[in-house]
């Protein structure tokens, strides 16, 4: 048996509705599970695949193993007041960015601050998250989140940004930074 790939809808049905209650959702499965938030291009994810397949065979019927392809699911989502996906970008009240931090044996363990920068279609940074040092310069941030890194992969890390400016339809760029490194850069589109 192989790990089961979940869409966002299937995740809500089998794991829990993190959109309805992002800070207080409940697990709905009937047995323990492992959820691997992965991407096809991720080398760490590919190395984890055979381990998860072995777990799926060894613990079949006692443990559910799922995969969520983060590239297939939206990375940035406009949110309305109650946390539901907002279809009209001009009414969005909160934005959510979800990502996985891969295992990295050369990174020191301990508390880490992940800095989020979101740039709108006009090239302006969405404000509100303080500032941080990167390559000798001080950069403003959209939001930030502190995590405890223990040298292991951390899936499903979420940073919320409360909309404090007018959002326009178009392509947005999301960048994540930590320890003077750019961890990721992705684009997503908000439509009117």
Give backbone dihedrals phi and psi of 16, rounded to 5 degrees, phi first.
Answer: 165, 160
The residue with tokens 């044996």 is 105
Catalytic residue ranges: 42, 45
Please name the residues in contact with 73: beta carbons below 8 A apart, sequence gap of 6 or more: 7, 8
Q: 165-191 burial, b for 16+ CB within 10 Å, e for fewer? A: eebeeeebbbbbbbeeeeeeeeebebe
User: Which fold does the domain 4-69 belong to in CATH?
Assistant: Glutaredoxin (3.40.30)
**Largest Cα–Cα distance in the chain?**
53
Q: Where are the domains of the chain?
A: 4-69, 76-190
Secondary structure of residue 181 in the 3-state scheme: strand
pLDDT at 111: 92
pLDDT at 75: 43
Q: For the chain of 192 residues, list the mean pLDDT of each consecutive stretch of 10.
A: 85 85 82 84 77 90 87 53 54 82 84 93 90 93 92 86 85 91 86 74
pLDDT at 45: 75
CATH number belonging to the domain at 76-190, selected among 3.40.50, 3.30.465, 1.25.40, 2.60.40: 2.60.40
* Residue 174: HSE in the Cβ half-sphere, 13 Å Cα cutoff: 23
């Amino acid at each position: 048996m192989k790990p089961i790939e979940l869409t966002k809808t299937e995740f809500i049905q089998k794991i829990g509705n993190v959109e309805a209650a992002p800070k207080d959702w409940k697990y709905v499965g009937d047995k323990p599970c492992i959820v691997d938030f992965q991407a096809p291009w991720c080398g760490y994810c590919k190395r984890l695949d055979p381990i998860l397949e072995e777990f799926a065979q060894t613990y079949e019927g006692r443990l559910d193993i799922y995969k969520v392809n983060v590239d297939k699911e939206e990375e940035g989502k406009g949110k309305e007041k109650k946390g539901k996906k907002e279809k009209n970008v001009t009414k969005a009240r909160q934005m959510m960015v979800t990502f996985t931090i891969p295992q990295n044996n050369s990174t020191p363990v301990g508390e880490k601050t992940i800095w989020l920068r979101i740039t709108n279609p006009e090239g302006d940074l969405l404000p509100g998250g303080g500032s941080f040092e990167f390559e000798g310069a001080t950069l403003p941030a959209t939001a930030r989140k502190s995590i405890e890194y223990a040298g292991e992969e951390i899936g499903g890390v979420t940073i919320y940004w409360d909309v404090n400016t007018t959002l326009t339809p178009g392509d947005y760029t999301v960048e994540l930074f930590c320890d003077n490194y750019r961890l990721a850069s992705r684009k997503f589109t908000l439509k009117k």
